[in-house]
Amino acid sequence: MTNPPLFPGLVLGIETSCDETSAAIVEGRHVRSNIISSQAGLHEKWGGVVPEAAARAHVEAILPVIEEALDAANARLDEIAAIAVTNRPGLVGALSVGLTAGKALAYARGVPLVGVHHLEGHLLSILAVVDGFRADVEFPHLALIVSGGHTEIILVDEGLQYTVIGQTIDDAAGEAFDKSARLLGLGYPGGRAIEVAARGGDSARYPLPRALLDDPYNFSFSGLKTAVLRLVEREGERLDVADAAASVQEAITGILAAKSLAAAEITECRTVTLVGGVAANAALRARLEDGCYRRGLQFVCPPVALCTDNAAMIALAGSCRLALGQRDTWELDASSLADLAHP
């Protein structure tokens, strides 16, 4: 089967789970606008997201971002047929800002409201039709979801049920990038900084560990962090940052690609998708694409703007949930934890 059904009419998506304030409007699979206001500059000085500061910045940004999304989509608020908002998992204070805005707008306009699991948003970002991107993805398929908080290999079936095939037992892949970047003095957020620093670097210069673990589909990145720390201490001034960044990128992307491809084989999936913030990494995209090509598998990865946190993916996931008949009440809560097996 190909794509799940979507809600007819314009859906406004709202995302405030971490440090991006985003609003988007989708019509079916078409992304009519996707506005993202990043707080990265705000949190840079602390080297990570400060929850209280994030929530306050969302309060300032949320209404202008929603207005901008309406303008960019050439739509009026009274044309919005439903509202989808991330309510889990994430920073509760940050989530509450988007959730409150979503509830207020849905109540005022008398349209349905649906709470969206952030990871389901990432997983369904592949449904988007935007800027020349359009993929007809087979269901069930295998997804590698890699973000700042998650690293999971997930089987996605046509009824939007999710089975976790493998996951990290400690740090997420994005965290491994961010922590390594900090140790290499490359700043925050670290994933993009490592990718840029790695250009022209020799990825074989500093061999770094790739924990294979007993379980063939689980990941562990805490040993990598320790190895990078030791490397920095050992090399001191001599450290070639480009080579070190390339070596870190090689270690992380190598293990991610190898285990995902092994999981595709065992689950007999013909399609592999790559989603989440770390999917913005060109080396990872190229590596997984090449591995899929060699095995005759379809490879799908959305454009970069839909990999890192954004509301278009939330609107798309919400649209699928609405089409399945899901509606939430004003009791809908924000939550820091959520089980993807029961989104």
Binding site for ligand KG4 (CB under 6 A): 18, 147-149, 174, 177-178, 189-192, 195, 276-278, 280-281, 308-309
Q: Count of CB atoms within 10 A of residue 159's CB?
A: 10
In the complex, what is the shortest distance from the CB of residue 88 to Zn ion, in angstroms, rounded to a whole number? 12
Pick between residue 106 and residue 126 the one whose CB is nearest to ligand KG4: 126
Minimum distance, C-beta of residue 192 to ligand KG4, in the bound complex (Å): 4
Specify which residues 30 forms β-bridges with.
27, 129
**Helix/strand/coil percentages in the chain, nearest 5:** 45, 20, 35
The answer to whether the CB of 104 falls within 8 A of the CB of 111 is no
Residue number, 33 or 86, with CB nearest to ligand KG4: 86
What, of Zn ion, ligand KG4, none, does residue 35 touch, CB below 5 to 8 Å by kind?
none
Least Å from the CB of residue 289 to ligand KG4 = 15
Report if residue 147 touches Zn ion, rule: CB under 5 A: yes
Beta carbon nearer to Zn ion, 243 or 309: 309
Cα(295)–Cα(298) distance, integer angstroms:
9
What single-letter amino acid sits at 254? Answer: G
Q: Which SS3 state, helix, strand or coil, does residue 158 take?
A: coil
Residue 89: name its binding partner from Zn ion, ligand KG4, none (Cβ under 5 to 8 Å by kind).
none
Q: Is 232 exposed, middle or buried (0-12, 13-18, 19+ CB in 10 A)?
A: middle
Binding partner of residue 166 among ligand KG4, Zn ion, none, CB cut-off 5 to 8 Å per kind: none
The CA-to-CA distance between both ends of the chain, in Å, stands at 21
How near is the Cβ of 259 to ligand KG4 at its closest, in Å?
Answer: 17
Q: Residue 343 Cβ, how far from ligand KG4 at the closest point, in Å?
A: 15
Size of site (CB under 5 A) for Zn ion: 2
Q: Give whichever of 308 and 319 is closer to ligand KG4, judged by the CB atom.
A: 308
> From ligand KG4, Zn ion, none, which one binds at residue 281 (CB under 5 to 8 Å depending on kind)?
ligand KG4
Q: Report whether 343 contacts 88 (CB < 8 A).
A: no
Phi-psi region of 83 (alpha: psi -120 to 50; beta: other; left: phi over 0): beta
Strand partners, 48: none
Site for Zn ion in 305-324 (CB under 5 A): 309
Residue 140 vs 148, nearer CB to Zn ion: 148
Closer of 4 and 190 to ligand KG4 (Cβ) = 190
Toward ligand KG4, which CB reaches closer, 20 or 243? 20
Q: Which does 291 bind (CB under 5 to 8 A by kind): ligand KG4, Zn ion, none?
A: none
The nearest distance, CB 310 to ligand KG4, in angstroms, is 8
Nearer to Zn ion, 54 or 111 (CB): 54
At its nearest, how many Å lie between ligand KG4 and the CB of residue 71? Answer: 24
Q: How far apart are CA 200 and CA 240, in angstroms?
A: 11
Q: Rg (Cα) of the chain, in Å, rounded?
A: 20
Residue 162: name the closest of 173, 171, 150, 172 by CA. 150
318 binds, among ligand KG4, Zn ion, none (CB under 5 to 8 A by kind): none
Q: How far is the CB of 277 from Zn ion (least distance, A)?
A: 6
In order of 85, 88, 164, 221, 330, the CA distances from 105 in angstroms are 11, 19, 34, 42, 11
Q: Between 28 and 277, name the residue whose CB sits nearer to ligand KG4.
A: 277
The nearest distance, CB 164 to Zn ion, in angstroms, is 17
Please list, in sequence order, all residues whose beta carbon lies within 8 angstroms of the beta carbon of residue 207, skipping any fewer than 6 positions away. Answer: 247
Partner that binds at residue 98, options ligand KG4, Zn ion, none, CB closer than 5 to 8 Å by kind:
none
Determine the number of helices (DSSP H) and then strands (DSSP E) in the chain: 11, 10
Chain positions contacting Zn ion, by CB under 5 A: 147, 309
